Chain A
Amino acid sequence: DTGVSQDPRHKITKRGQNVTFRCDPISEHNRLYWYRQTLGQGPEFLTYFQNEAQLEKSRLLSDRFSAERPKGSFSTLEIQRTEQGDSAMYLCASSFQGSGETQYFGPGTRLLVL
């Protein structure tokens, strides 16, 4: 499968625990985006990378959230001290700047904080 992949697909955690999600973009895609989607809503932008540089972060991304893309390939999104309000689907998308910039989404990681 050459599409965007995410791991894990599901995560259940207790309030206060830390969680980390991984996204593997389509190879050669230099841009990688993280979105959050809650039930009945459209995805909301969290942050994006161009190669390894994190170029923009949404105000939604509190200081408990951190994202990295150390080698310009896969990315990780970590949430520290999880809260029940963090329960959502976390979607990753990738695109190639300069080639239409169409964003292709991964299957998402569904997080449930108990």
Chain B
Amino acid sequence: GENVEQHPSTLSVQEGDSAVIKCTYSDSASNYFPWYKQELGKRPQLIIDIRSNVGEKKDQRIAVTLNKTAKHFSLHITETQPEDSAVYFCAASITGGGNKLTFGTGTQLKVEL
């Protein structure tokens, strides 16, 4: 089955700096890659996703890139703010095949003032 690895496990940045979180996946059939943000005690919330027919997607301060050949994808957050502090999870799935998500182990992002 699919295996998703995520790095780093913790990331501390200064407010205004950029943050990058990287994930690799094992199943070349995976074609959908969402990113979820989870604040302490809250539900995971989708922040951005990318499909395999696209190499990059951007939404304001958040961008995701996908390299299908290398089987890795990354989340980029620019101009970080204290409210960006949370745990971020990447995931991979095969749409049309049930779309069950396989998650990475998460990155605890801390944005310091």
Contact = CB atoms under 8 A, between A and B. Distances in A.
Contact of B103 (A43, A106, A107): A43
**Residues of B in contact with A, size category:** 20 to 34
Nearest to A44: B103
A91 B43 contact: yes
Contacts of A108: 43
A56 B98 contact: yes
Contacts of B98: 48, 55-56
Interface in A4-48: 4, 31, 33, 35, 40-45, 48
A103 interface: yes
A108 B45 CA distance: 12
B43 A103 contact: no
A55 B99 CA distance: 11
Nearest to B99: A101
B101 A103 contact: yes
**Residues of A in contact with B, size category:** 20 to 34
B46 to A, nearest CB: 6
Contact of B100 (A48, A97, A105, A106): A48
Contacts of A42: 4, 6, 89, 91, 103-106
A103 B34 CA distance: 9
B44 A91 contact: yes
Nearest to A102: B46
Contacts of B32: 101
Contacts of A33: 100-101
B43 A101 contact: no
A107 B43 contact: yes
Interface in A76-114: 91, 95, 97, 101-108
Interface of B: 4, 6, 32, 34, 36, 42-46, 49, 89, 91, 95, 98-106
Given A55-B98, A97-B99, A108-B43, 17 more contacts: A35-B101, A40-B106, A41-B105, A42-B4, A42-B104, A42-B105, A48-B100, A56-B98, A56-B100, A91-B44, A101-B32, A101-B95, A102-B46, A102-B49, A103-B46, A105-B36, A106-B43
